[in-house]
């Protein structure tokens, strides 16, 4: 994959580039602020952009704003944002449109190389990669959803992992369940959330959006 990195901390930026190159990807550019990110994305047309949320000059939301601009102008480019802290309002902004090709991870996750590179691959393939702690806080803000109250504890566990971007196989491995059991839980979730089979809608995405909506 062709990747552009935006991270103001030089050592962390270099580490990300080395990690991704060792995994077989091409890092087209590694820049330090939002403006440079937009310029690099326009020049190199990457498959994935990985950006820190907080960058110069104010260290508030420059990276997020650049990511949102890319989502608007280059929807074919997947976006994975990194943060030192959980910022649910930023996650809401990023997921406000289609969640396809979007990721939000805490920087600590980069230490788990396999988990991080899997997240990059999922986002690049049009999937979603959400940090489990971000998912947990988003869930805490969505208690009003009547359909969610009908879910069992295990179904909530399955839906939380779906919201992280896990496939049924990934959910089964995380919860130590058989694939068939996970498929039954997923079917039950769709039923309780009132999501019938449809050729025009992706029920998995709709279920995750229902789970994450504020």
- pLDDT per residue as tens digits for the range 35-80: 999 999 999 999 999 999 988 888 888 898 899 899 889 989 999 9
Three-state SS for 154? helix
The CA distance from 38 to 26, in Å, is 18
Q: What is the mean pLDDT of residues 180-190?
A: 93
Question: Which CATH code fits 142-212?
Answer: 1.10.10.10
All structural domains of the chain with their residue ranges: 2-131, 142-212
Instruction: Specify the pLDDT at position 203.
Output: 85
The CA distance from 31 to 39, in Å, is 10
Q: What is the tens place of the pLDDT at every residue in 139-168?
A: 555 544 456 778 888 998 999 999 888 999
Which segment, 37-41, 85-89, 129-133, is predicted with the most confidence on average? 37-41
- pTM for the model stands at 0.67
The CA distance from 140 to 172, in Å, is 24
pLDDT category at 136 given cuts 50, 70, 90 is low
Q: Which tokens go with 87? A: 């910022």
Q: Which tokens go with 103? A: 């990721």
The CA distance from 77 to 45, in Å, is 8
Is 2.20.130.10 the CATH classification of the domain at 2-131? no
Instruction: Specify the pLDDT at position 206.
Output: 82
């Amino acid at each position: 994959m062709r990747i552009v990195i935006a991270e103001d901390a030089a050592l962390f930026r270099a580490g990300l580039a080395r990690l991704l190159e060792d995994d077989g990807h091409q890092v087209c550019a590694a820049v330090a602020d939002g403006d440079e990110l937009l310029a690099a994305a326009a020049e190199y047309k990457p498959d994935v952009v990985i950006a820190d949320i907080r960058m110069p000059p104010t260290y508030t939301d420059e990276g997020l704003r650049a990511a949102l601009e890319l989502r608007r102008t280059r929807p074919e480019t997947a976006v994975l944002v990194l943060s030192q802290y959980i910022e649910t309002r930023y996650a809401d902004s990023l997921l406000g449109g289609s969640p396809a090709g979007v990721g939000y991870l805490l920087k600590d996750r980069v230490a788990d190389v396999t988990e991080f590179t899997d997240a990059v691959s999922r986002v690049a393939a049009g999937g979603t990669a959400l940090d489990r702690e971000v998912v947990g806080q988003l869930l805490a803000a969505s208690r009003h959803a009547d359909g969610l109250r009908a879910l069992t504890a295990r179904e909530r566990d399955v839906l939380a992992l779906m919201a992280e971007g896990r496939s049924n196989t990934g959910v089964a491995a995380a919860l130590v369940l058989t694939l068939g059991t996970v498929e039954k839980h997923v079917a039950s979730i769709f039923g309780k959330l009132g999501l019938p089979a449809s050729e025009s809608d992706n029920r998995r995405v709709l279920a995750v959006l229902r789970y994450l909506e504020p």
